[in-house]
């Protein structure tokens, strides 16, 4: 008996997570490039860029918390049977 | 032979396997950031080792798949196969691994492990001893699906990264920022490697403990097993790193930082998610899927299907080939204690022989520092000039066809 939903879960989670992280990091890189151009809103762009990198790290941290049973129980209150 | 002695033998061999796994796979994670100069080799290797160590502690789902799923349980003895059989299977996996390494064939240490184990179980305890539905749903299907999922992810991520950072009016996109991102993404790959690969050894050791009656069949992985496996893979990673540094500078596939970041993120996501669901994957295969996918996502990327096919064929071969070696070893252990001694001595002899031969001959295959690099060769990325030439040739062909058609019509 093959659990096809498990494969679907792996596919969707992989795509969503990877795309979200890459999007966040790419926006950060773009904003840094904009900041390098100079101009008025240099500081705002730079702050935005670092905010993007932080989002990137948060997504990864969330992923790790979900995987480790002890952490997901302690932080999110979910006891995962998987 | 004493029951505990064979258990110690299996554990030692399993940890050796774990060590070689780390040794073999350091390059997969850390080769690109070292090559782009984002991180110094020393730091990269140390980072990879530490993250492999941490990763091994994250989850035990894959270990449970191996210890409690693939081999059927016997109502009387707990597990259908004994420690001697596991020893035979492991020996088959280790020898097949070293053999393919010597010949420079693409192979997967994970599939060698499963092949050896299943081969030994079938020969030792009959076809009924293997749970084929678990084997299919947790090993074989993930082997096909996971690289595909990672490849599609890498393709989309590469497209996305280039689209977001593309700037109008010819302003510099400064994609060099992705170099530092690659330290981050490579670290995640190292972490996921520890999570999935170290668990395979944990599973084998737990299976042995259950088979020899030292542990209940429905209990989880013991902490000392997790810790020793984590240290073995980390040590292997650290040692393997020095080999990479020595061969550094040999032709690495042309991977741009943005593309590498996208590929590594896809690899790490796919492996970590799969580990959580207990899929025992080959990390090398997933990473290869990502490298090919991200290459296709770049402008002018086209796949050399011949090269890709040859790599896939090597993978396909691993499971049955290791199974045969494991099966032969299991048949010899049927002779009793003397059989186990023969397998141990012959196996060690084969390992030493392979090691000595590898010392003697120049390593052609080591110029390719990782299996991922081999997969990278499966993607051909055309330069701007080549793309233009190709478009020109195609346009010319189309024009010729059009005039031909007109001529035919009139």
Q: Count of A–B CB contacts within 8 Å?
A: 121
Residue A14 is nearest to which of B149, B160, B173, comparing CB atoms?
Answer: B149
User: Which residues of A, range 23-62, sit inside 8 Å of B by Cβ?
Assistant: 23, 25-30, 32-33, 36-37, 56-57, 60
Are the C-beta atoms of residues B110 and B200 closer than 8 Å to each other? yes
A6 CB neighbours in chain B (<8 A) are 137, 277, 279
pLDDT in tens, chain B (410 residues): 456 778 888 888 888 888 888 877 776 777 777 777 777 878 888 888 888 888 888 877 777 777 777 777 655 555 557 778 888 888 888 888 887 777 766 677 888 888 888 888 888 777 777 778 777 878 888 888 888 898 899 899 888 888 887 877 666 767 777 888 888 888 888 888 888 888 888 888 888 888 777 777 667 777 888 888 888 888 888 877 766 555 443 444 567 778 888 888 898 999 888 888 888 888 888 888 888 888 888 877 777 777 777 777 777 888 888 888 888 888 887 777 777 778 788 888 888 887 777 777 655 444 444 566 666 666 777 777 777 777 788 888 888 888 887 777 76
Query: Nearest 10 degrees: CA dihedral of B357, B362, B365, B370?
Result: 90
Provide the pLDDT for residue B251: 41
Residue of B59, B146, B269, B274 to mutate, interface with A, max A Cβ within 10 Å:
B269
B154 CB neighbours in chain A (<8 A) are 18
Pairing of strands B73-74, B78-79: antiparallel
Provide the pLDDT for residue B253: 54
Give me the interface pTM, i.e. the ipTM.
0.86
Tell me whether residues B181 and A25 touch, CB distance under 8 A.
yes
Helices (H), B104-176: 109-125, 132-135, 141-165
Provide the pLDDT for residue A70: 74
* B269 to chain A: closest CA residue: A14
B261 CB neighbours in chain A (<8 A) are 22, 25
B361: DSSP letter: S
Cα separation of A61 and B191, whole Å?
Answer: 12
> What residues contact B118, with CB distance under 8 A and at least 6 apart?
B70, B89, B130, B135, B319, B323, B326
Provide the pLDDT for residue B367: 43
B145 CB neighbours in chain A (<8 A) are 7, 10-11
Provide the pLDDT for residue B242: 65
Tell me whether residues A33 and B165 touch, CB distance under 8 A.
yes
Tell me whether residues A29 and B175 touch, CB distance under 8 A.
yes
Provide the pLDDT for residue B252: 45
Tell me whether residues B137 and A1 touch, CB distance under 8 A.
yes
Whether the predicted pLDDT of A82 surpasses 80: no
Provide the pLDDT for residue B243: 62
Check if A8 contacts B (Cβ < 8 Å). no
Domain boundaries of chain A, sorted by first residue:
13-76
Provide the pLDDT for residue B106: 65
Provide the pLDDT for residue B51: 87
* A5 to chain B: closest CA residue: B277
A17 CB neighbours in chain B (<8 A) are 269, 273
Q: Half-sphere exposure of A11 toward its Cβ, with a 13 Å CA cutoff?
A: 12
Cα of A42 to nearest chain B Cα, Å = 15
A82 CB neighbours in chain B (<8 A) are 61, 276-278
Per residue in A36-48, pLDDT tens? 776 767 788 888 8
Helices (H), A1-82: 4-36, 42-67, 69-71
């Amino acid at each position: 008996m093959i659990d096809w939903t498990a494969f679907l879960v792996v596919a969707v989670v992989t795509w969503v997570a990877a795309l979200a992280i890459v999007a966040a990091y790419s926006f950060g890189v773009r904003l840094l490039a904009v900041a390098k151009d100079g101009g008025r809103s240099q500081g705002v762009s730079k702050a935005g860029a670092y905010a993007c990198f932080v989002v990137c790290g948060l997504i990864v941290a969330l992923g790790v918390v979900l995987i480790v049973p002890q952490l997901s129980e302690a932080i999110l209150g979910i006891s995962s049977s998987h | 032979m004493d029951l505990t002695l064979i258990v110690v033998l299996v554990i030692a061999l399993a940890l050796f396997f774990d060590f070689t796994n780390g040794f073999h796979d350091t390059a997969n994670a850390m080769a690109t950031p070292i090559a782009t100069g984002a991180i110094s080799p020393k730091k990269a290797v140390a980072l990879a080792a530490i993250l492999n160590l941490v990763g091994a502690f994250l989850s035990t789902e894959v270990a449970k798949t191996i210890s409690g799923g693939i081999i059927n349980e016997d109502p009387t003895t707990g597990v259908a196969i004994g420690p001697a059989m596991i020893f035979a299977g492991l020996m088959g996996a280790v020898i097949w691994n070293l053999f393919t390494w010597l010949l420079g064939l693409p192979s997967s240490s994970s599939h060698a492990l499963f092949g050896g184990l299943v081969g030994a179980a079938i020969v030792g305890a009959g076809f009924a001893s293997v749970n084929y539905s678990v084997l299919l749903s947790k090993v074989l299907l993930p082997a096909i699906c996971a690289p595909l999922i990672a490849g599609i992810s890498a393709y989309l991520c590469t497209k996305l990264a280039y689209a977001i950072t593309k700037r109008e009016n010819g302003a510099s996109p400064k994609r060099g920022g992705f170099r530092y991102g690659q330290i981050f993404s490579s670290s995640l790959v190292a972490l996921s490697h520890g999570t999935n690969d170290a668990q395979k050894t944990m599973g084998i050791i737990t299976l042995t403990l259950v088979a020899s009656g030292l542990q209940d069949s429905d209990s989880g992985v013991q902490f000392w097993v997790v810790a020793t496996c984590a240290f073995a893979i980390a040590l292997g990673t650290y040692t393997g790193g020095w080999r990479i540094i020595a061969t550094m500078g040999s032709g690495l596939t042309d991977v741009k930082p943005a593309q590498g970041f996208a590929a590594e993120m896809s690899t790490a996501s796919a492996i970590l998610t799969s580990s959580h669901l207990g899929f025992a994957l080959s990390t090398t295969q997933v990473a290869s899927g990502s490298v090919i996918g991200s290459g296709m996502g770049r402008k002018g990327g086209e796949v050399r299907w011949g090269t890709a096919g040859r790599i896939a064929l090597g993978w396909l071969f691993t499971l049955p080939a290791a199974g045969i070696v494991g099966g032969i070893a299991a048949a010899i252990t049927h002779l009793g204690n003397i059989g186990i001694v023969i397998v141990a001595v012959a196996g060690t002899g084969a390992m030493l022989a392979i090691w000595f031969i590898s010392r003697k001959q120049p390593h052609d295959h080591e110029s390719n520092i990782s299996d991922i690099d081999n997969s990278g060769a499966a993607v051909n990325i055309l330069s701007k000039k080549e793309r233009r030439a190709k478009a020109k040739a195609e346009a010319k062909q189309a024009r010729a066809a059009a005039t031909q058609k007109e001529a035919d019509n009139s």
